[in-house]
A and B are shown apart, each in its own frame.
Chain A
Amino acid sequence: MLQHSTQQAPAGERPLAVAVSRGLRATGRVLLDLARTMLPAMIAVTVLDRSGWLARLAALAAPAMAWFGLPGGTALALLIGNVVGLYSGVAAAIPLGLDYKEWTILGTMLAISHAHPVEASIIARAGANTWAVLAARLAASAAAGWLLSQLL
């Protein structure tokens, strides 16, 4: 199989082997990144949850989060996701025990809008107007959350 693909590959030899090794290395990098961002978020939220502070925060945020059909505790997940990253935000929501619909809404909102400090600087380096991109992402995230909460 590898011999055969050697002759056909436009780029590099043995693309499958190269792809597996590069893909596994990329997975390793993602895992390291996840360990760095997911574990602290999960520990923090679990501690907040056990200490009773999460419930207090959730009660404060509940009216706002009701717009998106989400429980109040997910406000913290949205905040963490937008500031730190998608995976941290997701990790912060795991102790809440969301159902299928809530995961879909939260996942979509976080996927549209996350990791702004990091991604904004990257986008600015490419030469785009960061503020327009940031505004579009935040607005789209909120609109998508509301729409999905109505539709699902």
Chain B
Amino acid sequence: MSWLVDAIATGTWQGLLMLLRVALFIAPVLIALEWAKATGWLGRLTARLEPLCRRLDLPGELAPALTAGTVLGVILGSGVVLETTRDRHVPRHHVTLLFVFVGIFHAMFEETVAVFAIGGNGFIMVLTRFAFAAAAALLYRAWLGYRLRTLGSAALAPRPARGR
């Protein structure tokens, strides 16, 4: 059984080393993100993302959620969506469309740096993720349009994302 003890020790040691490495890479990114939140930089980025929002046929109200999702992650993006839908009517299919994009392309700084820390190419990763997120969102949008045309809008009265 000595091999088992040895394997557990090796795994723990290598895991701790990797933890340290990832922490060294991630700490500056998380500090920068907090700084961006505290100084209002994120709000300015939201204005920049509005054209992307329009391209995806998303209502402008979801732009802050798109920013939070792509920059900070799925959990915070979801929180912003909940904030948005609290007092405004947002159709459910728009929220789904948002998350088709955000699900593929989110936490762009943290996760990219993490993959870079363990030895991958973060640049290729970000490009690929963005391309596939855009492609998936456009495909889903096209499908929504097709459904609308074939079934007619009466069968598809937009369901609200909240209050079901």
Residues of A within 8 A of B110 (CB): 30
Interface string of A96-138 (1 = CB under 8 A from B): 0010100110111011110000010011011111001110110
The answer to whether A23 touches B34 (Cβ under 8 A) is yes
- Chain A contacts to B: CB under 8 angstroms: 9-12, 15-16, 18-20, 22-24, 26-27, 30-31, 34-35, 38-39, 42-47, 49-51, 86-87, 90-91, 94-95, 98, 100, 103-104, 106-108, 110-113, 119, 122-123, 125-129, 132-134, 136-137, 139-140, 143-144, 147-148, 152
Residues of A within 8 A of B35 (CB): 15-16, 19, 23
| Residue of A whose beta carbon sits closest to that of B85 | A127
The answer to whether A128 touches B96 (Cβ under 8 A) is yes
The answer to whether B38 touches A136 (Cβ under 8 A) is no
User: Could you tell me which residues of chain B, from 64 to 119, have a CB within 8 Å of some CB in chain A?
Assistant: 74-75, 77-78, 81-82, 85, 90, 92-93, 95-96, 98-100, 103-104, 110-112, 114-115, 118-119
Interface string of B113-148 (1 = CB under 8 A from A): 011001111101100110011011001100000000
The answer to whether B34 touches A10 (Cβ under 8 A) is no
9 further A-B pairs in the complex, CB-CB below 8 A; given A27-B26, A46-B7, A103-B118: A15-B39, A50-B4, A94-B118, A104-B115, A125-B78, A133-B103, A137-B103, A139-B136, A140-B136
Residues of A within 8 A of B3 (CB): 50-51
The answer to whether B14 touches A95 (Cβ under 8 A) is yes
The answer to whether A47 touches B38 (Cβ under 8 A) is no
Bound-state Cα–Cα, A81 to B152, Å = 40
Is B18 an interface position by the 8 A CB rule?
yes
User: Could you tell me which residues of chain B, from 21 to 52, have a CB within 8 Å of some CB in chain A?
Assistant: 22-23, 26-28, 30-35, 37-40
24 contacts between A and B (CB under 8 A): A9-B39, A20-B34, A22-B38, A23-B28, A23-B32, A24-B27, A24-B31, A30-B23, A30-B30, A39-B16, A44-B11, A47-B11, A51-B7, A87-B114, A108-B128, A119-B75, A126-B78, A126-B161, A127-B81, A127-B92, A127-B161, A128-B92, A133-B99, A133-B100
The answer to whether A132 touches B96 (Cβ under 8 A) is yes
Q: What is the interface size of chain B, counting residues whose CB is below 8 A from a CB of the partner?
A: 69
Residues of B within 8 A of A9 (CB): 38-39
The answer to whether A35 touches B96 (Cβ under 8 A) is no
The answer to whether A34 touches B19 (Cβ under 8 A) is yes
| Residue of B whose beta carbon sits closest to that of A12 | B38
Interchain nearest-CB distance for A71 vs B (Å) = 15
A43-B12, A127-B161 in contact; A31/B78 too (CB < 8 A)? Answer: no
Is B162 an interface position by the 8 A CB rule?
yes
Bound-state Cα–Cα, A113 to B118, Å = 18
Interchain nearest-CB distance for B140 vs A (Å) = 7
A12-B38, A123-B99, A132-B140 in contact; A46/B8 too (CB < 8 A)? Answer: yes
